[in-house]
């Protein structure tokens, strides 16, 4: 099940190096352009958050109006950063795990440019007030089919690689990758058709857009993040995955719960009542896959804490998995029936979304990027300090956003439910927490400037020429990435 690190036959090393070489340009393109989008999304998030408690900010610029900037922020975060980072992870992991070189790098790279162009048009349209105006699906209507087309043109080759792989074991990571690859187009096409094309009831358009947003996280971002975690944890520690059966259970638990989530936003709306409550139930039960995946990955790395501390990839990935467990618990408490009254229309939903997108997905994606980039560029990361700062500011920032948004959201919800209190009193009390969120975004901005700069330097091939990976603590004679963990140039992998 786990890819062991003991096989260092020259053929193997040569194959890995050639796979990495074949994917160098598209993967690097997705990661770097994703990182630039991430920085942009954070700037927009900072403005959006600040406007909630300081409404005069930039009010002469109508393209960053409150409302528009919130939508642009989340769209840039999801489609600019999230999906592109996922593309890079998917195509690299699938090629490595299927042991097939990529022969369509040119196509992927070209379509990747188109993806960026369409996301840019989409974000600019939102800021110009020309979006679709539908919560969670704010890009203009014509952008959606184009994005779905790009998605297919980028990921279809990974399915082909899986199909033509030499018969052998299917890794846990590959389950998640295949699942994400199959679910996403189905999800996106049906959301597009039911929301924009078919004439239906306006409430169902809202409900399906919410379902799309919920499922997008559970059925695309989360599987990609977990695929990377199930690859890196055994790979870097050199141990097999703790329990195959637990992995199986966690996978199917997510597959059965994920597609129900999303409509909990519509509790009390005049749609069939079971829909929002099924959504809330799925959000409560998501604790089950969170605990099983968390237990499995953390048990895999347990006992090798020094490696978790030293290896940037593993440190980010393990933190992402710990935050996934935290996500499960938080989601459990926020979606019980008494809590829903308070949390349904409050900041806390935003806090949970950011915990999922930044805390879980992005930390796992950073882990993957710190592992993949040295292999495909043939250079090592320049600065241990940059990685360290990126890690601590990210963790600190995301924790502050989530705590402020959730606590603020509960205060806000309580205030609204308590009808003896005037609304404005509640609003001014809740807005204090908005300051916390804004400051936390500033921390994340700081973290990601380092990340972006570091990645751009690597892209420019200015990384260290060394066969020793960049570790976060002093140098060891033995590489924690295992013998293979060094850059996979044939010459240097002799250790």
**Subset of residues 61 to 80 that bind another protein, contact rule: CB under 8 A:** 62-63, 65-71
Q: How far apart are CA 196 and CA 171, in angstroms?
A: 38
Neighbours of 57 (CB within 10 A): 14
- Chosen residue from 7, 103, 305, 425 binding another protein by CB under 8 A: 425
Contacts to another protein from residues 401-420, by CB under 8 A: 409, 412, 416-419
The H or E element spanning position 84 is helix 83-98
**Shortest approach of another protein to residue 396 CB, angstroms?**
24
Interface pattern 181-200 for another protein (x via CB under 8 A): -xx--xx--x---xx--xxx
When asked if residue 323 is in the footprint of another protein (CB under 8 A), the reply is no
| CA–CA gap between residue 162 and residue 5 (Å, rounded) | 21
Is there binding between residue 100 and another protein (CB under 8 A)?
no
Question: Do 52 and 66 touch, CB atoms closer than 8 A?
Answer: yes
Of 181, 190, 117, give the one whose Cα is nearest residue 154. 181
The pair of three-digit structure tokens given for residue 292, joined into one six-digit string = 């099983």
Query: Among 31, 151, 175, 220, which residue sits at the site for another protein (rule: CB under 8 A)?
Result: 175
The only residue of 13, 209, 308, 330 in contact with another protein, by rule CB under 8 A: 209
For residues 293 and 226, the answer to whether their CB atoms sit within 8 Å is yes
Is residue 261 within 8 Å of residue 208, measured between CB atoms? no
Q: Distance between alpha carbon 79 and the CA centroid of its chain, in Å?
A: 10
- Output 151 or 260, the one with its CB closest to another protein: 260
* Shortest Cβ 29–another protein spacing (Å): 29
3-class secondary structure, 81: helix
Closest approach of another protein to the CB of residue 480, in Å: 33
- The answer to whether residue 491 forms part of the interface with another protein (CB under 8 A) is no
Where b means 16+ CB within 10 Å and e means fewer, 228-257 reads bbbbbbbbbbbbebbbeebbebbbebbbeb
| Structural element, H or E, at residue 51 | helix 10-53
Number of residues that bind another protein (CB under 8 A): 87
Judged by CB under 8 A, which stretch of 6-14, 148-156, 205-213, 436-444 contacts another protein?
Answer: 205-213
Question: 24 is written with which tokens?
Answer: 């160098």
Q: Which stretch binds another protein (CB under 8 A): 33-41, 105-113, 264-272, 305-313?
A: 264-272
Instruction: Collapse the DSSP code of 242 into the 3-class scheme (helix H, G, I; strand E, B; otherwise coil) and give the result.
Output: coil
Nearer of residues 126 and 395 to another protein, judged by Cβ: 126
| 144 token code pair | 């959606």
70/488 with CB nearer another protein: 70
CB under 8 A: which stretch of 21-29, 109-117, 266-274, 376-384 binds another protein?
266-274
Instruction: Check residue 1 for interaction with another protein (CB under 8 A).
Output: no
Which window, 149-157, 272-280, 284-292, 447-455, contacts another protein (CB under 8 A)?
A: 272-280
Q: Does 345 bind another protein (CB under 8 A)?
A: yes
Residue with tokens 């993967």: 27
Q: Tell me the DSSP string of 152-203.
A: HHHHHHHHHHHHTSPS-PPPHHHHHHHHHHHHHHHHHHHHHIIIIIS---HH
431 scored as a contact of another protein (CB under 8 A): yes
Q: Considering the complex, state which of residue 195 and residue 471 has its C-beta at the smaller distance from another protein.
A: 195
Footprint of another protein on 151-170 (CB under 8 A): 170
Residue numbers 219-248 binding another protein by CB under 8 A: 219, 248
Candidate segments 113-121, 257-265, 313-321, 358-366, binder of another protein by CB under 8 A:
257-265
- Considering only the stretches 48-56, 145-153, 314-322, 366-374, report the one whose residues sit in contact with another protein under the rule CB under 8 A: 48-56
Binding mask 127-146 for another protein (x = CB under 8 A): --xxxxxxx-----------
Q: How far is the CB of 74 from another protein (least distance, A)?
A: 10
* Phi, psi for 464 (deg, rounded to 5): -70, 135
Smallest gap from Cβ 416 to another protein, in A, equals 6
Under 8 Å between Cβ of 299 and 242: yes
Nearer to another protein, 110 or 156 (CB): 156
- Rounded Cα distance between 328 and 68, Å, is 30
Determine which residue in the list 55, 303, 460, 473 makes contact with another protein, applying CB under 8 A. Answer: 55
CB of 227 to another protein, least distance (A): 14
Minimum CB–partner distance for residue 48 and another protein (Å): 8
The Cα–Cα gap between 291 and 328 comes to 7
Interacting positions 369-398 with another protein (CB under 8 A): none
- Do the Cβ atoms of 408 and 435 come closer than 8 Å? no
Using the contact rule CB under 8 A, the part of the chain among 148-156, 224-232, 421-429, 478-486 near another protein is 421-429
Q: Beta-carbon neighbour count of residue 270 at 10 Å?
A: 8
DSSP-H helix ranges across 217-347: 222-237, 244-257, 274-285, 287-301, 305-310, 312-334, 337-343
221 vs 451, beta carbon nearer another protein: 221
Of 79-98, binders to another protein (CB under 8 A) are: none
Cβ–Cβ under 8 Å, residues 34 and 357: no
Site for another protein in 348-367 (CB under 8 A): 349-350
Which pair of tokens denotes residue 86?
């996922």
* Nearest to another protein of 60, 477 (CB atom): 60
């Amino acid at each position: 099940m786990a890819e062991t690190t003991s096989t260092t036959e020259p053929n193997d090393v040569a194959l890995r190096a050639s796979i990495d070489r074949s994917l160098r340009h598209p993967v690097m393109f997705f990661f770097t352009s994703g990182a630039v989008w991430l920085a942009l999304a954070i700037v927009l998030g900072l403005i959006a958050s600040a406007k909630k408690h300081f409404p005069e900010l930039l009010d002469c610029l109508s393209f960053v109006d409150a409302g528009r900037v919130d939508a642009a922020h989340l769209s840039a975060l999801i489609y600019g950063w999230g999906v592109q980072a996922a593309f890079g992870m998917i195509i690299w992991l699938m090629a490595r795990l299927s042991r097939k070189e990529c022969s369509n790098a040119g196509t992927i790279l070209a379509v990747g440019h188109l993806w960026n162009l369409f996301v840019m048009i989409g974000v600019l349209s939102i800021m110009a007030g020309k979006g679709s105006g539908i919560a969670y699906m704010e890009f203009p209507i014509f952008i959606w089919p184009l994005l779905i087309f790009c998605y297919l043109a980028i990921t279809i080759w990974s399915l082909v690689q899986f199909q033509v792989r030499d018969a052998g074991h299917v890794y846990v990571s590959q389950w998640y990758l295949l699942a994400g690859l199959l679910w996403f187009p189905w999800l996106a096409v049906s959301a597009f058709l039911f929301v924009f094309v078919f004439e239906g009831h306006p409430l169902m358009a809202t409900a399906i857009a919410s379902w799309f947003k919920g499922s997008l996280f559970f059925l695309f971002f989360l599987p990609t993040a977990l695929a990377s975690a199930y690859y890196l944890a055994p790979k870097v520690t050199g141990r097999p995955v703790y329990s195959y059966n637990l992995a199986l259970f966690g996978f199917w638990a997510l597959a059965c719960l994920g597609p129900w989530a999303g409509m909990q936003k519509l509790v009390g709306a005049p749609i069939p009542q079971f829909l929002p409550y099924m959504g809330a139930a799925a959000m409560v039960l998501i604790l089950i896959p969170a605990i099983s995946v968390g237990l499995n990955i953390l048990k895999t790395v347990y006992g090798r804490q020094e490696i978790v501390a030293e290896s940037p990839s593993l440190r980010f990935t393990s933190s992402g998995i710990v935050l996934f467990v935290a996500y499960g618990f938080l989601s459990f408490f926020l979606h019980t029936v008494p809590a829903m009254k308070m949390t349904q229309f409050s900041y806390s939903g935003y806090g949970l979304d950011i915990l999922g997108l930044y805390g879980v997905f992005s930390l796992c994606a950073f882990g993957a990027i710190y592992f993949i980039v040295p292999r495909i560029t043939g250079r090592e990361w320049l600065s241990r300090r940059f990685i360290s700062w990126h890690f601590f500011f990210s963790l600190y920032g995301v924790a502050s956003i989530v705590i402020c948004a959730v606590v603020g959201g509960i205060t806000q919800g309580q205030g609204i439910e308590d009808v003896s209190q005037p609304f404005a009193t509640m609003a001014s009390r809740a807005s204090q927490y908005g300051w916390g969120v804004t400051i936390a975004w500033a921390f994340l901005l700081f973290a990601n400037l380092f990340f972006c700069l570091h990645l751009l330097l690597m892209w420019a091939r200015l990384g260290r020429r060394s066969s020793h990976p960049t570790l976060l603590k002093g140098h060891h004679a033995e590489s924690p990435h295992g013998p293979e963990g060094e850059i996979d140039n044939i010459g240097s992998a002799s250790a």
